[in-house]
Structure 1
Amino acid sequence: MKLKTGFTALVMAGVLAGCVAPAPKPVATAAIQSCKADNQMQQTTLYFGLSRPAGKAITGQEWQQFVDGDVTPRFREGLTVFDAHGQWLGNDGKVAREESKALMLIHGTDAQSEAKIEALRGIYKSRFAQESVMRVDQPVCVQF
């Protein structure tokens, strides 16, 4: 009798496990999955600080030269620039704030796009003595 009770409990556990609703998919993931393959792209937003560690701030003219000479030749299809005000917690425990630029790029998920983005980050860090250029990537469904 004990074996039959154990078997029944095991069967019931299996049946009840099938009654548990799966976790809902995040809306963004569901939207990308329903997106036509031709419309699936990647959105990369880069955040560029406009303060140099030592010295004057990066000027509007210097920023525009970077966009015209380095960004546009790599992303001729288009781009968007936003003015931003960034802040972060520094190694010294103090909140640091600076004017920034956000550059949004919509591109394919290919090695060439990846290389172009990483080149921009490297050029900016080197040219303007920056520790980092923050990068945020997400899949997007694009229609024109």
Structure 2
Amino acid sequence: MRFLNTAICLLAVTLIGCASTSVTETNNSMVASSSIVASKSDGIKMYFGLSIPTGGLITAQQWQKFESNQLAQAFTGFSVVDAVGYYKGEKEPAKVVTIYNVSKADIESANRLAKEYSRLFNQDSVLIARLNVAQISFVGKE
């Protein structure tokens, strides 16, 4: 629940200027019925592995430094989720960074940061998935 509140706040910072949205149930599906912040928005998800190929893990302090000094400086708002993935058959802790409403400059920054992270922590790669989001809206308590 705490992460959800943080993610919503970060998304709100990214997409300033939205009005409250109400939701109605129609034909067993939820439909937003007021302001849509963005339609046909681009987004990205970045998958940062925390295992070092030569052994060991990227520490919480190392990740926090990268997050604060690199990610937070490059993007207006983003969400970070702890994840577990598999790479080359091995289980690996990871961080997933999601950014919505991205610009061309954001995509360039993501590519630059992926290269920097790979260099800093001897990673084979950072996965960047482009998202074609049909609609972004905020659903409030009203």
Indicate the structure with greater strand content.
2
Indicate the structure with greater helix content.
1
CA distance in 2, matches of 1:98, 1:131: 13
- The equivalent of 1:128 in structure 2 is 121
After TM superposition, the score normalised by the length of structure 1 is 0.65
Q: Does structure 1 residue 102 correspond to structure 2 residue 96? A: yes
- The equivalent of 2:56 in structure 1 is 56
* AA matched with 2:55: G
* AA matched with 1:82: V
Residues 83-122 of structure 1: pairs in structure 2 closer than 5 A? 83-88=82-87, 90=88, 95-108=89-102, 110-122=103-115
Asked if structure 2 preserves the Cα contact closer than 8 Å seen for 1:107 and 1:113, the reply is no
After TM superposition, the score normalised by the length of structure 2 is 0.65
Q: Does structure 1 residue 70 correspond to structure 2 residue 109? A: no
- The equivalent of 2:30 in structure 1 is none
CA distance in 1, matches of 2:80, 2:126: 14
Name the Cα RMSD after superposition.
2.0
Larger Rg: 1
- The equivalent of 1:28 in structure 2 is none
What percent identity do the matched residue pairs reach? 28
**Which whole-Å deviations, capped at 9, do the CAs of 1:38-91 have from their partners, x for residues lacking one?**
543212111111011113210011111111000011112x11111111113x2x
Q: Does structure 1 residue 143 correspond to structure 2 residue 142? A: no
Q: Which ranges in structure 2 are unaligned for 5 or more consecutive residues?
A: 1-35
CA distance in 1, matches of 2:37, 2:49: 35
CA gap of 1:87–1:132, structure 2 versus 1, over 3 A, is same
* AA matched with 2:110: I
